[in-house]
Structure 1
Amino acid sequence: MNSRNQIRARGLRAALLAGAGSTLLVTAIPVRAQDTAPAAQGEEDAIVVTGIRETIQNSINTKREETAIVDALSADDIGDLPALSVGQAIQTITGATTHREKGDASEIALRGLGPFLSNATFNGRDATNGSGDRSVNFNQFPSELVNNIKIYKTQQADLVEGGVAGTIEIGTLRPLDFGKRRIQGEVKAQYNPYGDRIVGSGGIGWRGTLSYVDQFANDTIGIAIGVQRNDTNNPEETYAASTTWTACRADNSAAANCTELARADYGQDPFYLVPNAYTFRQISETDKRDAVFGAIQWRPSDQFNVNLDVQYSDRTFVESRRDLNISEARRGLTDVVYDENGIVQSLSGQSAIESNGSELSRAEEYLGGGLSVEWQPSDRLTLTVDGSYSRTIRVEDERNVRLRTDPRDLNGDTTVFNNMRIPYTYEITPGSFVPTITIDPRFDLNNHDLFWDDARLRRDQSRRHNEIIAGRFDAGYEMDGFFSKLSAGVRWSEMTFRDYDVRNEGFDLTSDIDEERRINNLCRTRAFPQTGFLSAADGNAINSWATFDVDCLFREYTGSEDPGALEDKRSPANRDVTERTLAGYIMADYDADLGNMPVRGNIGVRVVKTDVTSNGLRSDLTIIDNGDGTIRLDTTGDFETVTIKSSNTRILPSVNAIFEVAPDTLLRVAGYRAMSRPAPSALGAGRTFQLDGNDFTSVEEAIGNVRANGSPRLKPLMSWNADAAIEWYPNKDSLLSATVYYKQFNGGFQPVVFDEAFVIDGQTVTAPVTQTRNSPDKSRIYGLELTAATRFSFLPKPLDGLGAKVSYNYADSNFETQDVRLGDQFDPVTEEVSQGLIAPAGLSGYSKHVLSAQAYYELGPVSLQAIYNYRSKYFQDFVGGNSQLRYVGPSETVDFRASLALMPGVSLRFEALNLFNEPKATYMPVYGSSRQYHYYGSKYFIGLRARI
């Protein structure tokens, strides 16, 4: 973020925090006066409320009626959730915040706690994703086809699994319950200013949605169907360092790679932290998604209710990436200035420089749904059977080309440096996350003749397949007396997660110098693909470089633009995980009076048994000479399967109580035990031989990068939890609530080192392999959650159309996550601890502060809404775990929405996302050590909606 935006954002955040306090006061005084005028209140009840106000009213009413502590966002009509995606909608709910990918909300964290601590369901059923974790990719689902979102902050037994942070429930419309015919269509045009800077693109996209709901046969059969096509673009510009960081000895020689500080010298010798490489990346992108949501509801009698629902989404995005790569960030380092944490402030270095190009496409297909049959054989007994299926398949194909510097240029002339390595300087200003990397000015980055040597072509394919088959049976019996209802049920599910990542690079690239010159000249990109590259990044010194056409280079070097993926997909890095779950619960609802005070709630217990089977491949290795002074390891092609099994059973009691201390005031208390499972990808039994790149100078260096790509014996993270909330509902539009919560974790995660033997070219080599295990440690989280919402109806017209909602969550945790290379390590035999070099992180996804503020104005045909979201810094684990620490910097975004009713059923709508071009910054392996920043730009949508 540049300095102007930083000042503007700080002022905005201060104003919103001040506004939060004033909203609390405004809610607490004038809205009480509203209730003293019964006639006015009765007139208000006769008014038909629509739009944003209706959505907030529904959310307040849902929160009040639920037994658990719940926050919600719901709309009576289809397409009325005020957001462009489900992820954006969720982040307006109290305590919910998002992790941004490609400029949009993706994975959700509740109460500042990471996605892996939450459980997400779709129409009450577990949903798959293509990321390898258990969170739902909310970008996959259009908000126009979703009607309600509930977040259970506390657990109750019929949620079966739930989550430590909470459960996110996404719901679609049931046509008979909707009760009316509705045909609706909407078309939106998108404009992305960053897309307009892409050469040959205008930054224009569109999305169209059509839905139909109706009832037939005397309202015994209902259907609902919605379709959407989304065709947009999400260009991106970024600087990034690699994902492997080394602690270098401060006294190392500058002639070669810096010397890694030995673990025996931790805490004694000075060090500084550097990555393997630095990369500037320009991305041009197109994004297409087709989605279909359908439901059939059949109610032949009052005793039977049958619901069938299906969701399908097929999303494909294609990226053209152009990289400038400083590939030897550890080499020739001099004049290194660093602070007490090892964070480099400035240095000089020498590195080969690469112009890399890649074409990447990702196709992600989601198919989910289920059949539910509800039978009520008597007035008191209800039986429900539910079967469901969810599947996500994500396939990525990437073709990558590297061209590198050489002591001579393409014409055979000696360069001014007389070697392939170019001097550069690195400097970062305190308080900034954007480093200034300056290449020696004698080297012209835009001269294609300087990038021609060591051509390398790769064709990668990865595939992730996540599938869940589940069945559930529930019974509910209404009773008289203290216990009003008794519920019980069982659930069975089988989840499978399989992935592979294969590389095809065995191409014969031998050619003489004349052929190299011909290819280089033929495949040059005459103009840099983007104007104003990283112009918003203060201090950036690199705005363009020589780029090449990837299709042309593949065609000229290999004879085919796409040589295809390897047929043999086997690899030691593959994951093959099957998780079978059998669970049961019993729960009793109660409703009574404590003196003159009504009390209601539930008490219950869940038992969850989990069996995990993880298959991994093992193979001998062979050394391959890359021909440029580096080597890599590859498998021999002979594999054997290693199977690791694990099992655990967890008992999860829960109790919820609601005390109606006044007709408009509720006191809630809850206590429960909760579990959060490891990500499926974290249960793999495979081995990976590099963290990024695989060009090494020695066998020792190559084998030193081996790591486990999962830990099959990991158990769920368990916690005991307590919540207490006070909620005041002065009228339909207003809410003032405060919740305090406490979570004690029984266990955590520790990196543990095992020595494993690998056969390399017939020789047995022993290498340390780091995995993750459950620890006996105890840690805790405590937090405070505040919500205030009101409509300022006491103001004179036309100001009485103003409304606001502010929510804030504070969390404090002492949970520790160690860096797998530079943190504490545990010996599995002796249980001795080898002290680490850098401080541990907290929980993955944990933010201390989360703030959301909304202001809306509705008057007649006009509706306006502004939304501000702030999230403080957090640690984010890489998918699959067993990796170094990565931190995401504070994030704040401002969105705006407006609509104008042109005539009954027809409205003009406008949305603006990320108005102030807020970037995303990440740091490794300690906070403050710049690793990556992304600029996405703002997005604008304008459209027309019609409904009959």
Structure 2
Amino acid sequence: MILPNKLNRGVSAIALGLALTALTSGVAMAQDASTAPVEEAPVEGEIVVSGIRGAINNSVQAKKNNTSIVEVVSSEDIGKLPDLSIAESLSRLPGLATQRLDGRANVVSIRGLAPDFTTTLLNGREQVSASNNRGVELDQYPSELLNGAIVYKTPDASLIGQAIGGTIDMRTVRPLAYGKRAIAAGARFEINDLGKLNPDISNKGYRANISYIDQNADGTLGWAIGYARMQSPTAEERFNAWGYPEATDGTNTAFVIGGAKPYVKSNELKRDGVMAVVEWEPSDKFHTTIDGYWSKLKDEQRLRGIEFPLFWGNSTLQPGFTVEDGLVTKGVWTGTEAVMRNDVVHRDSTIVAGGWNAQFKPNEKLTLELDLGYSRIKKTEENLEIYLGTGRGQGVGARETALGFEMRPNGGIMFDPSLDYADPNLFVITDPQGWNSCGGAVPNCQDGFVNTPRVKDQLKSLRLQATQEFDGVISSLRVGANYSDRKKSLDDRGFVLTSKNYPADTAVPADYLYDPVSLDFIGIPGMVAFDSWRFYNDGNYNLTDGAGFDPARVFNDYTIREKVLTGFVQANFNADAGRTPIRGNVGVQIVHSDQTGSSFYAQVVGGVTQSTPVTDGAKYTDILPSMNLSVEFADNTFLRFGAARVLARARMDQLKPGGGVNFDTSKRDNTDVNASPWSLDLGNAKLRPLMADTVDVGLEKYFGQGGYVSIGGFYKYLENYIYRQVNPFDFADFEVPDGGTVGTREGLTKQWLNGNAGRVYGAEASFSLPFANLTQSLDGFGVLGSASYTKSRVREGTEDAISMPGLSKWVINGTAYFEKDGFQVRASGRYRSKFLAEVSTISLARDMFMAKSEFVVDAQVGYTFQSGALEGLGILLQASNLTNEPFVTYYNNDPRQIRDYQNYGRNFMAGITYKF
């Protein structure tokens, strides 16, 4: 059976945690914690717990009390979420899974739906994104500054930011609710066990944070401020394949590696974040809060490796290669001209977010509320490629006489070269493959390239609402409106780098050279390494704007403007059917959208890019009803039901109205539109959102303190899935690129359009079991776990059902913990089955490739002094990716045809925290 096999991966994390906790189980007998759960002042005389168990109790209680179907993650204490990032914390919730970037959890899929189908809020306000589209990159938000998050799997009518996947609402602390003074600080040292793969980026780093919460003597004014600093290392050994064409030796025909780009990569991620909150409640009639958030993230990368063009270069596969089940697994290439890379990435993004909320109660039953929100991000990037080779252009310089290769069972390829890639006299600055002629003017001109995309995203919002309470079955009625204005733009630029010594080759000056960098993970002992960033900035290259001869550099640009007015009404009810409490809400949103997209039509005419600005858009109104029902048919046992109509707006790059015009001169005389020389890839600013009708059912049983078990199912009917469709197009307004005659002005275009219906459905189960609920002799031990099964049936036209981006059929999480008398031990594992991942391709474009299943294990051990001079001091050891799980994507639905094999290594941390 499938289920037990998958559950074995998740349960193994629990087993690991129990083994670790056994080491400390004999040192503690009982724990009396006087610290109240975060944002919940204790009832006088009540004994409460903090730390892991306090966070679990808070999360379970919030899940129980909410009328919607939600998942909750809570901070263990001020400045202390249970994981290194909010993304990792969210990935442990039932039905949620993360995709890793550079070894870090980065974006979240909910119930098998990609990040673009999810909305992320901060304190109830929608957030902008540093990505090219809508998915929020959560590593921009320091976990030390967040107090927790709620994931709404079913919406209510007053929830702004409804989404098909779900809505994530990250929360900062509220000082008046926290109810006491607290100062907390922490520091951690971090190291990656792959070592220092590149000489100019360290494998060591640190994290530091400090938070302060206080109130005035009357408890009417509260304030909180926090600062977090991170300089975190990541490392990566990466094998990348260009594809797998078919090769033959006259007898055997099989797929073979067509080209490879293996390299070692070192990252240094620097992030500064500040959170501030001021809360004032002078009377029971007025309450106002101002909160602000600022974060600056700098990601510095060094990538060094070698590209082997192989099949798509001028290499020859020698006869006698080994074939296994239709794939060449061992052989020899000759004539290969390698391209050595010394690349640099500088990524800089700054986010500013905040808002003002004011609530006024003219009487005991009526609450009026005003909320102003603002979110803005600016992201800049320099992605520098610097090339070395043995000569300028193909067929010039030394080539491989015998480049042996053998595919490894776990991914990647081992090479056996005939050239010495660590010889700086052999490998010089040049254009080894003649990749560019700078628009035809300068042959073999590309000695390097630099991509410089810029993203700006800004969102302003205004919300007004009124809530009237009643004494009957209808407990309250809420009416209101929210207006948001969002503007996002991408400026995609790229420049060809040509050495100022062109056409001569240039030896790397000795003062720029480093010791050779090892590529032994692919069988190559060393390669030439030098300070390419300094060499570039010292003015050794001429730059040619790629927009002059590459139309993609023009039509990739876009500006999208969305003005959305949402009116809503929601009735909350609380009734007893006999002795059965029934709670819930019913309501409707009326959403009016005014969207505009601006971009370009671009084509190459006479070797030069011509661009024509184009602006388009649409206005439309959607009606989104919703209902949530919670029936407590037995003590602490709930039957939940949710039904709603929700939407997910089209991706930003789908909404751009322009496109690139292509002309195939070999077809110029054809008159059949299906064989036309004209073609066009086109966006669509008139796209409607993807609509879905959703139904959720859940059964939840709560017991003891922090214990529960839950099962449920969901069904989402997708009404108008967006995909590329082929249609005729009139190209009469475009020039024939070479000025010659043409058989037809009709052609075909691939355009994003709303299309077929489909469905996504699945089941979830989760539990929390503190062992003290079974016997006090196991007080302090506990386990958490969840399993989700999701399937989809979505078709693009008449084709077979597609794989939905971000959908893993199985997502399984497990955590085992022990916490008592200051001791804390925890191990967590998260498993997700294969899924369609979004990854970077040529010129930083994004594309979809199937990713292998993965199982990631993290663990931590700590102790906090409970009394004496060191009271409040905590010592912590943490380890992430203990199983050293790689991120692997592949081609052609064949896991052996590896596209990317990324080995991240393990990160270990040691730190202290202090609260007083």
CA distance in 1, matches of 2:544, 2:877: 43
Q: Deviation per CA, 1:394-448, whole angstroms, max 9, x where unpaired?
A: 10013322223449999x9x74xxxx5766455546xx45132535x43333333
Distance 1:426 1:643, change over 3 A: farther
Which amino acid in structure 2 is aligned with residue 438 of structure 1? Answer: F
Q: What is the aligned partner in structure 2 of residue 743 from structure 1? A: 716
Q: What is the aligned partner in structure 1 of residue 912 from structure 2? A: 944
1:788 aligns with 2:767: yes
Which amino acid in structure 1 is aligned with residue 806 of structure 2? Answer: G
Q: Deviation per CA, 1:303-337, whole angstroms, max 9, x where unpaired?
A: 11111111100010111221201235434565688
1:589 aligns with 2:562: no
Q: What is the aligned partner in structure 2 of residue 303 from structure 1? A: 285
CA distance in 2, matches of 1:685, 1:134: 17
Q: CA deviation at 1:64?
A: 0.7
Say whether the 8 Å CA contact 2:725–2:751 is kept in structure 1: yes
CA distance in 2, matches of 1:20, 1:940: 17
Distance 1:253 1:623, change over 3 A: farther
| Higher alpha-carbon deviation: 58-67 or 299-308 | 299-308
Q: What is the aligned partner in structure 2 of residue 221 from structure 1? A: 221
1:320 aligns with 2:299: no
Q: What is the aligned partner in structure 2 of residue 679 from structure 1? A: 651
1:372 aligns with 2:340: no
Q: CA deviation at 1:11?
A: 6.7
Q: What is the aligned partner in structure 1 of residue 85 from structure 2? A: 85
Distance 1:882 1:749, change over 3 A: farther
Q: What is the aligned partner in structure 2 of residue 821 from structure 1? A: none
Q: Deviation per CA, 1:830-873, whole angstroms, max 9, x where unpaired?
A: xxx7x7xxx76421100110111111101201011111111111
Distance 1:726 1:796, change over 3 A: closer
- Match of 1:577, SS state, is strand
Say whether the 8 Å CA contact 1:790–1:805 is kept in structure 2: yes
Distance 1:778 1:82, change over 3 A: same
2:862 maps to which of 886, 899, 918: 899
2:837 maps to which of 872, 876, 883: 876
1:393 aligns with 2:381: no
1:711 aligns with 2:684: yes
CA distance in 2, matches of 1:91, 1:563: 43
CA distance in 2, matches of 1:471, 1:322: 48
Say whether the 8 Å CA contact 1:709–1:882 is kept in structure 2: no
1:459 aligns with 2:450: yes
- Match of 1:234, SS state, is strand
Q: CA deviation at 1:177?
A: 1.8
Q: CA deviation at 1:210?
A: 1.1
Say whether the 8 Å CA contact 2:127–2:375 is kept in structure 1: yes
Say whether the 8 Å CA contact 1:576–1:684 is kept in structure 2: yes
Q: Deviation per CA, 1:1-41, whole angstroms, max 9, x where unpaired?
A: xxxxxxx99975464589999xxxxxxxxxxxxxxxxxxxx
CA distance in 1, matches of 2:277, 2:199: 43
CA RMSD of aligned residues (A): 3.8
CA distance in 1, matches of 2:452, 2:845: 22
Distance 1:503 1:346, change over 3 A: same
Say whether the 8 Å CA contact 2:134–2:651 is kept in structure 1: yes
CA distance in 2, matches of 1:487, 1:125: 18
Q: CA deviation at 1:526?
A: 4.7
- Match of 2:461, SS state, is strand
Query: Which residues in structure 2 correspond to 1:802-881 (within 5 Å)?
Result: 802-816=781-795, 841-877=802-838
Distance 1:722 1:11, change over 3 A: closer
2:609 maps to which of 607, 611, 635: 635
1:652 maps to which of 603, 618, 624: 624
Q: CA deviation at 1:367?
A: 0.5
CA distance in 2, matches of 1:447, 1:287: 31
CA distance in 1, matches of 2:626, 2:287: 29
CA distance in 2, matches of 1:548, 1:704: 46
1:886 aligns with 2:849: yes
Q: CA deviation at 1:815?
A: 2.1
CA distance in 2, matches of 1:907, 1:864: 13
1:434 aligns with 2:402: no
- Match of 1:90, SS state, is helix
CA distance in 2, matches of 1:109, 1:867: 19
Q: Deviation per CA, 1:346-378, whole angstroms, max 9, x where unpaired?
A: 676554310122221000111101111111111
Which amino acid in structure 2 is aligned with residue 651 of structure 1? Answer: I
Say whether the 8 Å CA contact 1:333–1:347 is kept in structure 2: no
Tell me how many residue pairs correspond in the alignment: 845
1:473 maps to which of 455, 464, 478: 464
CA distance in 2, matches of 1:367, 1:338: 55
Q: What is the aligned partner in structure 1 of residue 526 from structure 2? A: 544
1:732 aligns with 2:723: no
Say whether the 8 Å CA contact 2:13–2:827 is kept in structure 1: no
Q: What is the aligned partner in structure 1 of residue 887 from structure 2? A: 920
Q: CA deviation at 1:566?
A: 9.6
CA distance in 2, matches of 1:251, 1:943: 57
Which amino acid in structure 2 is aligned with residue 315 of structure 1? Answer: L
Query: Which residues in structure 2 correspond to 1:664-703 (within 5 Å)?
Result: 664-687=636-659
Distance 1:555 1:84, change over 3 A: closer
Say whether the 8 Å CA contact 2:185–2:211 is kept in structure 1: yes
Q: CA deviation at 1:565?
A: 8.6
TM-score normalised to structure 1 length:
0.82
Q: Deviation per CA, 1:484-512, whole angstroms, max 9, x where unpaired?
A: 11111111111111011212336464457
Say whether the 8 Å CA contact 1:157–1:585 is kept in structure 2: yes
CA distance in 1, matches of 2:199, 2:8: 35
Say whether the 8 Å CA contact 1:152–1:166 is kept in structure 2: yes
1:488 aligns with 2:488: no
Q: What is the aligned partner in structure 2 of residue 356 from structure 1? A: 341
CA distance in 2, matches of 1:146, 1:376: 29
Which amino acid in structure 2 is aligned with residue 583 of structure 1? Answer: T
CA distance in 2, matches of 1:764, 1:276: 37
- Match of 2:262, SS state, is strand
Stretches of structure 1 that go unaligned for 5 or more consecutive residues are 1-7, 22-41, 255-269, 625-633, 691-695, 818-825, 827-832
Q: CA deviation at 1:571?
A: 2.5
Q: Deviation per CA, 1:544-566, whole angstroms, max 9, x where unpaired?
A: 3333431465368x447x97999
Query: Which residues in structure 2 correspond to 1:152-191 (within 5 Å)?
Result: 152-191=152-191
Q: CA deviation at 1:814?
A: 1.5
CA distance in 2, matches of 1:458, 1:699: 32
Q: What is the aligned partner in structure 2 of residue 720 from structure 1? A: 693
Distance 1:653 1:879, change over 3 A: farther
Q: CA deviation at 1:528?
A: 2.5
CA distance in 1, matches of 2:823, 2:143: 21
Query: Which residues in structure 2 correspond to 1:489-528 (within 5 Å)?
Result: 489-505=480-496, 507=498, 509-511=500-502, 516=505, 519-520=507-508, 522=510, 525-528=513-516
CA distance in 1, matches of 2:553, 2:847: 26
Say whether the 8 Å CA contact 1:175–1:224 is kept in structure 2: yes
Q: CA deviation at 1:932?
A: 0.4
Say whether the 8 Å CA contact 1:214–1:223 is kept in structure 2: yes
Q: What is the aligned partner in structure 2 of residue 823 from structure 1? A: none
Distance 1:300 1:709, change over 3 A: farther
Query: Which residues in structure 2 correspond to 1:14-163 (within 5 Å)?
Result: 15=12, 46-75=46-75, 77-163=77-163
Say whether the 8 Å CA contact 1:275–1:330 is kept in structure 2: no
Q: CA deviation at 1:197?
A: 4.6
Distance 1:672 1:85, change over 3 A: same
1:662 aligns with 2:630: no
Say whether the 8 Å CA contact 1:497–1:578 is kept in structure 2: yes
CA distance in 1, matches of 2:501, 2:816: 64
Distance 1:759 1:944, change over 3 A: farther
Which amino acid in structure 2 is aligned with residue 808 of structure 1? Answer: A
Which amino acid in structure 1 is aligned with residue 475 of structure 2? Answer: S
Q: CA deviation at 1:215?
A: 1.4
CA distance in 2, matches of 1:422, 1:162: 60
Q: CA deviation at 1:108?
A: 0.8
Which amino acid in structure 1 is aligned with residue 818 of structure 2? Answer: Y
Distance 1:278 1:554, change over 3 A: same
Which amino acid in structure 1 is aligned with residue 861 of structure 2? Answer: A
Identical amino acids, percent of aligned pairs: 27
Q: CA deviation at 1:594?
A: 1.7
CA distance in 1, matches of 2:666, 2:246: 19
Q: What is the aligned partner in structure 2 of residue 575 from structure 1? A: 558
CA distance in 2, matches of 1:664, 1:645: 50
